[in-house]
Chains A and B, each alone.
Chain A
């Protein structure tokens, strides 16, 4: 750095103070994460690095996962197991609607760096919702395997998103859907997080609908699913999405705008599903 060598600096707020942990296996990563207290997890870095560079976050320990063996996609019959460190770029060719959702994340430089685990753990950032892949994973009935307090557990993604405790995502399992649909409203440039995205997929567990931009994290549109099961038209069912959403004003759009957008996009996603993919 440019500062004169002999000058005193405030090391408690310096990045030098953070302990860096570089696990080289999954078990090492789980052990190093422990119960998650005081640990910042650095997957791809696209969310954490600005926090560090702006000085908003000065963690005691940083877990750098790149060598922990958590990336890659394994196929097992009709299901896929996707490691938490798999990049968004690698998911671009994944099963729909995950592939389309992945292709809509930021730009290709960011996609090559950002990870599935980061997208699942993304807190609502600054003034925008994050976690554009969550709707797709909800639609695909993803099961999330995590480690943390009380050891490892596997749970439906909705439960994972709703759980308050900090956990280390290890992998996600999804089923290849029979049909899938996707509709989104986003700004016509890269980078802006999606204003609202709707994903629909039919798997052996039935038809599921997931939303992003309709709450602090991904939301499952149970009301839409129930209405369809009860024989409602897509038009009627789409309107029900408002019952599941917690719409907010943010830097991308107002709650008012999202309220008008959401039923339209749900209908389009359902139409897309009917169109067959």
Chain B
């Protein structure tokens, strides 16, 4: 523990302040070709014709790729975990979001590549677009995904569910039901470095891929899967990322650049413009969360019913994982013995959504903490006292029945109150995270503690 609390210089600090740090776009390889992509101008459309011959014939163009050039044209980070892939690398006969890549060109310079893209002949048949996740199950909503309105692969369910305790009994016992709807919106990560890849075909048959990815081994696996190559033919160079925040977890530019490099037999660089970054790079998801809590007049939360709709955008990507994390955190830092949670991954025609700082959890934290204040207001109880009373303590169990060994809710709330000079009664100031007893162990929590003893012996998980 020598480094904890010590003041250490950044290992890359001097390189950053002298401009010596090399990001992907700073790497120069002689003979590099430049890339531009044909992207969908529509939110939802069938592609009825695609002809790249004029683009290919343009002087200075070295390669044009479409879905026909992709050995394995499905994109799915989680295939290895048994989650099927639903997204083409390059669109085949339809596009489902504005900005979706359809074809890409490598040419001697970006002007030529842009001109070649404009020469690609394509025709669309526009379809109605769908954006309102609340209407996903409506029979008259446009069907946009081959799997139906929601991601269907949560085991035998079409949603992530959590059940614990007896939710009906909790609502019967409640003095009051407090309801709330919370809808945080999409956020673009907006790293200052736009998405960039440089792919160099080597004489030994391998590809060297300079990548701005946040997730080297994800990206390596994804590129290998698309190319149907063994991993040992790919050399990834990365680690220097000009901001990511989750937005560079998806493999966005490497594979298409690799296909172009292989076809052109030349190094290929693809750097997205800021416009492309806003249009076509994934964002944090918009969420729709509905909560109803069964509470007692003296401030105990007996039960929570929650339904979450997560906007996945046009394809699944990491969304099922995000909703699973969200589900596990849906009681926040508080103990609620009876829960009933349903979380749906809903498909829309927005750009696919992805991880961003606290994937799946920031949304539910926002909802839970706002809801705590709402409960306090309805009951006329001090909001910090409400939090301290219901705070996780040693031996409490989470919604997915993990027994907590050292939860920090109580000391963190007390430290925060102290820092801002927030006065609390002595019995609250002296609270700790020790196991529940006395006033802090009302009848409705006794069973839970009993259950937690059982689960530490191997049951209940």
Contact = CB atoms under 8 A, between A and B. Distances in A.
A54 B275 contact: yes
A8 B59 contact: yes
Contact of B115 (A3, A7, A13, A54): A13
Contacts of B114: 13, 55
Q: Which secondary structure dominates chain B's binding surface?
A: loop
A4 B108 contact: yes
Contact of A9 (B30, B111, B273): B111
Interface in B11-52: 28, 30-32
B60 interface: yes
Given A2-B28, A54-B273, A54-B275, A8 B111 contact: no
Contact of B108 (A9, A12, A54, A55): A9
Interface of A, helix, strand, loop or mixed by DSSP: loop
Contacts of A1: 109
A10 B30 CA distance: 20
Contact of A55 (B31, B60, B111): B111
Interface string A36-63: 0000000000000000001100000000
A7 B111 contact: no
B36 to A, nearest CB: 9
Contact of B111 (A2, A4, A13): A13
A14 interface: yes
Given A7-B108, A9-B111, A10-B111, A2 B30 contact: yes
Interface string A158-186: 00000000000000000000000000000
A60 to B, nearest CB: 16
Looking at B28, B31, B111, B115, the one whose CB has the most chain A CB atoms below 10 A away is B111
Interface residues of A, number: 14
A61 B28 CA distance: 32
A9 B110 contact: no
Nearest to A55: B114
B169 interface: no
B108 A8 contact: yes
B73 interface: no
A6 to B, nearest CB: 10
A2 B32 contact: yes
Contacts of B108: 3-4, 7-9
A139 to B, nearest CB: 34
Contact of B60 (A2, A8, A15, A54): A8
A4 B112 CA distance: 14
Contacts of B112: 9-10, 13
Nearest to A14: B111
B110 A7 contact: no
A9 B275 contact: no
Interface string A1-30: 111100111101111000000000000000
Contacts of A13: 111-112, 114-115
A10 B113 CA distance: 9
Contacts of A10: 58-60, 111-112, 115
A7 B58 CA distance: 12
Most B Cβ at <10 Å: residue of A1, A9, A10, A14: A10
A2 B32 CA distance: 7
A8 B62 CA distance: 11
Nearest to A15: B111
A89 to B, nearest CB: 25
Interface in A46-89: 54-55
Contacts of A14: 109, 111
6 contacts: A7-B108, A8-B60, A8-B108, A54-B275, A55-B110, A55-B111
Given A7-B108, A14-B109, A55-B114, 14 more contacts: A2-B30, A2-B32, A3-B108, A3-B109, A4-B31, A8-B59, A9-B109, A10-B60, A10-B111, A10-B112, A12-B115, A13-B111, A13-B112, A54-B273
